[in-house]
Structure 1
């Protein structure tokens, strides 16, 4: 009996929060089987990945020749590292185009963008009625080119239009929850998200939960496990040759609920007060000096970015965690950060 053909997967961002989750799911996915290659810059983590049967290549997103070569060898490329790194995506597409020229079959690219592409300038002072739908091709085509992630997204969409790649844009919203699993236990992947931990750290440092403006803005949220499941639904559809949308009809949002920033800040304040790290659970607005200190001057946490994942659900994605779960995740997140030797060093720069 012949062995089944193993699809080749090239993953970028395998030690990050989302990318590590994707790698973990690839490793336990028995249908189909994959030959997995990852690019990472940390040699120690590369050694730790050897027992998992993963081929590792040491490099950075700026090693474009290496990325092009690796992409040219893959049936599926999954980008989870940096949604705004133009050069690495160009290198991926160059490799994919090379493979298409050699085989006549367009490879697949699952590219991670984000719902920040919908962000407005509310700065926490207002909500919005504007809601984006991953099924609304005309609406998505009108996203201005200056929006976050848009330049790279447009590059991917243009490549699909040219015909040498089938592209699938995954747009996670505010991802939350402590990641778990063998890759976390082995110290390979980052177990924390960015937005909630950043708000927690700021609250710890200023002894009071904070928010941008009045925290009136609305954002969607999604649990890390539900996010990773969307990637799995996509690669299963690709490998089983299901007729799902790609290119301009290949946006896949990850969201399962909404929240106002004030609600998140209020819950952070409650837990900080319970732990004796704040005198009040009521959040206050960050000053401009604090935005500079904690968020490099950005007020993007105060933007609106509402959306609905209709296409994702239509292909079989079934998220289970809700906004209530997001709010409940704040306490264990703070407990985890306090358990670290120095919680103020919590993330630093990811070793991807």
Structure 2
């Protein structure tokens, strides 16, 4: 049997297989509250050993996209309970991804009375999806140290809320240009206080969040997603040696805290030495994600460079992805026009193999 389908027994994770469903924004949380449609969507995909939810904001000002869910109100906690119970019925584990969008936001996507904030007052170049079309990113208001402390506390409370909602753990989104990665990048983080300047200072907020969450809910319930060398969402590239050292040091520090996993967005631009040094620095589970097929994922598992492999778009269009790759069946094509639209179209209506068989027999 291929390793993909075999149970995984890690120090902090025990899963029915080696496959992870990657976190993907879907914009179906009406009023930012998880709902029954979302519970159906996630349960359909419970073939994965571990599901990581779409990015979920720990606070109102982190809701940078339309209709993304939060985890800071009682209604949101109750809504997520329907999701977690549905996924657990399917035999999968589920982690909630905590994502504060920071400057990658537009004010029209935020609840009334809240503003776009950033680690510094550096506006992102480009446009963001809104229900009024694509608009330029809003200029962020720079957080002061009190604001940073509030966001740290928001993350801790959100993690506690996630456990109350039935999640098996939380993943901190330190990748793809959102707030935690904004703090790491010296061109986006131009602060001159304890949270800016040196690598140690720039990783301070991320480490304070990880430390406080592990102290609250347990290190075995915490993961961290990173994307070294990726420039999405207007993340300026900087000196290769500095990028390498930033992420190797970060891996070493979270390893010391004993968190469950590191989830690496597998940018082709990551030097092999960075991969190797992160692997050496971090003892627990390593998840690789981005652009894998069943065949290339199996290769990563077999050579030991990854412990688990995450699939994104494949799960979007194929709720029965695990069955399809086991039977070597063709995959559904993804409908890009309905990725972020409300409703079931392009969300819970992708056909499964058993349905296709029933209408062709």
TM-score, normalising length from structure 1?
Answer: 0.32
Q: Which structure ranks higher in relative contact order (CA pairs < 8 Å, sequence separation ≥ 6)?
A: 1
TM-score, normalising length from structure 2?
Answer: 0.31
